Amino acid sequence: MIQQNIKIAVDAIVFGYSNNTLNVLLIKQKYGVLENQWALVGGFVKDNEGLQDAVVRELKEEAGIDVDYLEQLYTFGDDVKRDPRFHVVSVAYFALVNNSVFTLIADTDAADARWFPVNNLPDLAFDHKAIIDLSIKRLQSKLSYQPIGFDLLSASFLFSELENLYCTILEKEIDRRNFRKKVLNFGFVEETNKFAPQKSGRPAKLFKFNHKKYRKLVEDGFVFEIKFA
Output 139 or 32, whichever has higher pLDDT: 139
What residues does each domain of the chain span? Answer: 7-142, 146-220
Sheet holding 156-158, edge to edge: 156-158, 205-209, 189-195
Output 31 or 134, whichever has higher pLDDT: 134
Tell me the pLDDT of the chain averaged across its residues. 91
**CATH number assigned to the domain with residue range 146-220, chosen from the 4 options 1.10.10.10, 3.40.50.10420, 3.40.50.300, 3.40.640.10:** 1.10.10.10
Burial 112-147 (b: 16+ CB within 10 A, else e): ebebbebeeeeebbbbbeebbebbbebbeebbbeeb
For residue 80, give the nearest of 70, 72, 88 by alpha carbon: 88
Domain 7-142 class, CATH top level: alpha beta
What local confidence, expressed as pLDDT, does residue 23 receive? 96
What local confidence, expressed as pLDDT, does residue 90 receive? 97
Output 200 or 75, whichever has higher pLDDT: 75
Q: pTM, whole model, 2 decimals? A: 0.91
At residue 56, what are phi and psi to the nearest 5 degrees? -60, -45
